[in-house]
Amino acid sequence: MLRQGCRVYKNSKLQGSYQACCSIKELDVFHRAREIKVDPDKPLEGVRLAALQARKTLLVPTPRLRTGLFNKIVPPLDATKEILRICATSQGVKKYSVPVGLDGKARVDLVVVGSVAVSEKGWRIGKGEGYADMEYAMMVSMGAVQEDTPVITIVHDCQVVDIAEELLGDHDLTVDYILTPTRTIKTNCKRPKPQGIIWHKVSYEMLGKIPILKSLRYREKQSGKDVTLQDEHSDLANANTPAVLNEKAMAESARPQAATGSAQMGQHHVESDSLSPRLEGSGVVTTVYVGNIPPSVRVSELKCALREFHAAPLRLSWQRAQHRAFLDYKDKATAESAVSSLKGLSLGGNTLRVELAKNQRNKEQVEINSQK
């Protein structure tokens, strides 16, 4: 991005970034756009400000997609120019934004990304972590962008270089416009952009780092798509290697046991297994609260999702009328792992609220309740 590739900056201020950002206002694609996605990078602050000043809907990806997909910037109705400037900063994004998940019905008309290097043909190289490529692929999968949605990158002049097309993969994002402090380049790039998530290039590690990616994978699996991960291909090819067997054994030992039995308790539907063998001695069963469950969702759908995300509890208390459920796990570590796995999960059009329950119960109390 502008902060890389040239060593001509002083006091951490990026020369020419403001001029390059301002030039976006001269493009027809900017004037036509109603909803714009702009990366959270400091060099793109000027673009975010231009979008806000033009009263466009501004979406900013959450850093490293840790807590979701987008933040929608919502300035106060009487926002002054100074407030809009604050809204365009990283601090403003935190203060004046609301989250937008997979079910947010975003319709992005223009995408603005940073780059480490870019060619006049539209080939782009990022920082190597793949977040811009992943963000775009996720937008495709959720229907937020179309094949003709323009992509702009803003860089310093010295970052426009020759790039061999052989360096690009089918997951790499290309750009349609390059803005520098001195030039506006229309690339006329014909190379197809990513058509969605390429799951066989996604690793377990990436899935663990991006909670919303797990939810998207679950959704696409339910629709019948092949969502086999990179590691799963390796597992199939090396199923009997000691490393893989050891990794699988560790995963199985850390995985909560699935609930098997069921009972009805008033309005509450309880799923439980024979708890006593696992809950010997004193201590606390840690409970996870799951809220914002749509009325249309059935308990079987939630159970399926819990198994898919390796978060099956010892006991499930389903409270349909209150649109919530409580999941009991054998200890706090297992419960916290389940919360992390389920974070960002969407069912029936709602992003579920998943957190540790405020009130915890003793193991003995759970055993008594499960036997009623």
The tens digit of pLDDT for each residue in 131-145 reads 788 888 888 888 889
The tens digit of pLDDT for each residue in 289-300 reads 999 898 888 888
User: Average pLDDT over the chain, rounded to whole?
Assistant: 78
Q: Residue 14: its pLDDT value, please?
A: 53
Q: List all residues 6 or more positions away from 85 whose beta carbon is below 8 Å from its beta carbon.
A: 49, 92
Continuous segment of H or E residues that includes residue 272: strand 268-272
Give the three-class secondary structure for 11. Answer: coil
Least confident of 48-52, 136-140, 220-224, 362-366: 362-366
Closest CA to 318 of 286, 289, 350, 285: 289
Q: Residue 108: its pLDDT value, please?
A: 94
The b-or-e profile of 115-144 (16+ CB within 10 A means b, else e) is bbbbbbbbbbbbeeebbbbbbbbbbbbbeb
Residue showing tokens 């987008």? 70
Domains, the chain: 17-186 (3.40.50.10420), 199-253 (no CATH), 256-370 (3.30.70.330)
Per-residue pLDDT band for 68 (boundaries 50, 70, 90) equals low
Q: What's this model's pTM, rounded to 2 decimal places? A: 0.66
Structure-token pair, residue 153: 């990158």
Chain centre to alpha carbon of residue 91 = 20
Instruction: Tell me the HSE value of 216 on the side-chain side, using a 13 A CA sphere.
Output: 26
Rounded-to-integer distance, Cα 204 and Cα 193, Å = 24
Question: For residue 301, what are the β-bridge partners?
Answer: none
Per-residue pLDDT band for 188 (boundaries 50, 70, 90) equals very high
Rounded-to-integer distance, Cα 252 and Cα 255, Å = 5
The b-or-e profile of 231-243 (16+ CB within 10 A means b, else e) is beeebeeeeeeee
Rounded-to-integer distance, Cα 8 and Cα 44, Å = 18
